[in-house]
Amino acid sequence: MKKIFLLALLFLCCGVAFGQSNQPVEMADTLRSSGKIYVVIATVAIIFTGLAIYLFTIDRRLKKIEKDK
């Protein structure tokens, strides 16, 4: 639980740091106006979710191997 909290805190801190720019982003405006930004966000979310699941399964396997030895 502690690791999940620290990971969430890390993502929140990084989000605040990148949110400081005041310059308009033309590509984001174009994607948002055409509705394609949601496809980009969904794709990134799926990739991150897949990576997280993969890492958790590897961690579980390693713990099982360590217990066996």
* pLDDT 10s digits, 15-45: 555 555 666 667 777 877 888 888 989 999 9
Q: Where are the alpha helices (DSSP H) in 1-69?
A: 2-18, 26-34, 37-68
Q: Give the per-residue pLDDT at 2.
A: 79
Q: What does the alpha-carbon distance between residue 53 and residue 61 come to, in Å, rounded to a whole number? A: 12
Share of the chain above pLDDT 70, in %: 83
Tell me what the mean pLDDT of segment 44-63 comes to: 96
Place of tokens 């990576």: 51
Distance from the Cα of residue 34 to its chain's centroid: 24
**What is the rounded average pLDDT for all residues in the chain?**
83
For residue 56, the model assigns a pLDDT of: 96
CA 53 to chain centroid, in Å, comes to 12
Interatomic CA distance for residues 56 and 52, integer angstroms: 6
